[in-house]
Amino acid sequence: MPDTSSNAALPALPPLTDQAERLIALGVPELAGIPADEIRAYARSATAGDGSGTGTGTGTGTGDTLLAVHPDRAPASALTPLLRRGDKPGFVVVDMPDVDDFAPAGVELPDSALYLVTGLDRGDRMANWSPEEALPALVAQARTPLVLGEGIHWVLQQPAVLERNHCFMTIGSRLRKANGTLDARTPAIWISNGTGRDGRERRDAPKVGWCWWGNRHTWLGFASGTGRGECNHR
C-alpha cells in the first residue's frame, strides 16, 4: 500500500488564535450560537498548552492543527457560502439539498462545540483512488478521514489548500438512508468549472458536491488527519 502522506508543499495553517479571529470575522459565532469570546478563549488555551503558538500540546506545533466547530452547531450549508476563491463565494451543488444530513460515519467527533483536528493531509497521493479503496488505506495508516465540515473549515482558514487538479474528498461524512444502508454519494470540495447547472458565473468558485463511493477521480485526494480532541488546558 503506498504512503498516503502528501502535504509537503502545502502552506501551514495560521496559529489557532488567528483561526479564531478568522471565524469571528466571518460571522461563525452568530451562526453557531457560540460567543466570540468563547472561541478566542478556546484558541488561547489550546495555544498555551503547546507553547509554540501554533499547536495544541499534542506535539504537533507545525501549523497542521485546525480549530473546528462541531457540525451540529455549524452545518455545511451555512459554512459553504463563507468560502471564497478570489471574489467567488462557495456554493453547494443543486443536487445535494440534503448536504446537512451527511453525518460522521466510522469516525467519532468530540462532544464539544469546539475541537481540534491534528495532522491534516490532503491525500494527493491517493488521487485516482475510489473512496472505497481509500478508506481502508487511511485506517491502516492510523489516519482518520475528515468530515465535510472539517474540510470546509480547512479551506476557510487556508484557501490555498484548494487548487485546480488538487482538491479533496471528505469521506468521514456519509448519508444513511431510511433503510439503514449508506447512500453511495460521498462529499467533496473542489473548484467549479462553471459548466452545467453550476452556471458560468460560478466558474472558479469553491464547490461542495459529491462523487460516487466506487468512482475514481484524478483530481481528488482524500483529506485526513491524525486525530481529534478537545482542548484540555482551560
Q: Tell me: the pLDDT tens digits for 19-78?
A: 999 999 999 999 999 999 999 999 999 998 653 333 333 333 347 899 999 999 999 999
pLDDT given for residue 50 in this prediction:
53
Strand extents, DSSP E, the chain: 66-69, 84-85, 88-89, 91-92, 103-104, 114-118, 144-145, 167-169, 173-174, 185-191, 206-212, 220-222, 224-225, 227-229
% of residues, the chain, pLDDT over 90: 86
